[in-house]
Amino acid sequence: MPIITLTSDLGNKDPYIASVKGYIYRHIPNAIVVDISHSIATFNIAEASYIVKNAYKEFPSDTIHIIGIDASYEPMNLIGVKTRDGIFFAHDNGVVSLILESELPLAVVYLPFSEEHGIFPFKSVLAAAAVKLALGTPFEQLGEIKNDYYQLANVYPPQDEFMLKGTVIHVDVFGNVVTNIHKSLYDRVVKGRNVRVYVTAREYISKISTNYTMRKEDSGSLMCLFNNNDLLEVAMHRGSVSNLLGIKLGAVITIVFE
């Protein structure tokens, strides 16, 4: 029996996620359901793709990933995407394309939707398709076979000879902020020069650290490093960068070369 994961922007206050899990367990009592996250900022496809992209390859390749993000976008367009590393059911709003980036899917289906499915297709369509697949229905029989799905292009950081600008795409539970600046781009552009990483117009960091370790007396100090996903992250020792400096999703982090 494949694992089923759930990712959404629905939070945990309301009964929505429990309802989806109940539906799955009612049809598959021995199912293994894993929550990736339900704390994604509402309608934020970029943050959802970052979280799922950096989690799904750790699961077995037959894992079924249900993603309920930005359900208001073309609510009748729901897709299934089969890849070598997992199967995704989601709204056709571009989130799957950001997760897979340049990877080509093995198969794509458009899932049937009608008024009888009601106003919660996360359960009535996406979870229902996952249940059918887990119980043995061939993927290609879940809907209309298509050659493609909606594509969103990743936004790459603007740069010139002396500057590189990144965008905050995720704020973690510690208040650390993750940008879209990948280490490969940083190395290619910076070329070993000294840098200043401007977190705000006045606050900057002049060193890229290799880990989160700092001395106790450095509490409240800013640091930046490339995290385990090779994306530039700004952190604060025993503090929250996001809360103390007011840095939120979409904020710009500027690297100046010297």
Residues 201 and 107 in one domain: no
**What is the spatial distance between Cα 22 and Cα 253, in angstroms, rounded to a whole number?**
42
Per-residue model confidence (pLDDT) at position 238: 79
Q: Under 8 Å CB-to-CB from 13, ≥6 apart: which residues?
A: none
Residues 28 and 95 in one domain: yes
Q: Which structural domain range is residue 88 located in? A: 4-146
Q: What is the chain's pLDDT, residue by residue, as a tens digit (258 residues)?
A: 899 999 999 999 999 999 999 999 999 999 999 999 999 999 999 999 999 999 999 999 999 999 999 766 555 689 999 999 999 999 999 999 999 987 889 999 999 987 766 778 999 999 999 999 999 999 999 999 998 888 887 777 888 888 999 999 999 989 999 999 999 999 998 888 999 999 988 888 988 988 877 655 455 788 999 998 899 999 988 788 888 888 988 899 999 987
Per-residue model confidence (pLDDT) at position 244: 83
CATH code: domain of residue 80: 3.40.50.10790
Element (H, E) at 211: none
Query: Is residue 231 a part of any domain in this protein?
Result: yes
Residue 112 one-letter amino acid: P
Residues 172 and 203 in one domain: yes
Domain boundary (118, 146, 174) is at 146
Query: Is residue 42 a part of any domain in this protein?
Result: yes
Query: Is residue 154 a part of any domain in this protein?
Result: no
Number of H helices, E strands in the chain: 7, 15
Q: How far is CA 190 from CA 78, 183, 198, 248, in A?
A: 42, 10, 15, 25
Query: Is residue 113 a part of any domain in this protein?
Result: yes
Query: Is residue 153 a part of any domain in this protein?
Result: no
Residues 12 and 122 in one domain: yes
Q: How many CA atoms lie within 13 A of 8 on its CB side?
A: 26
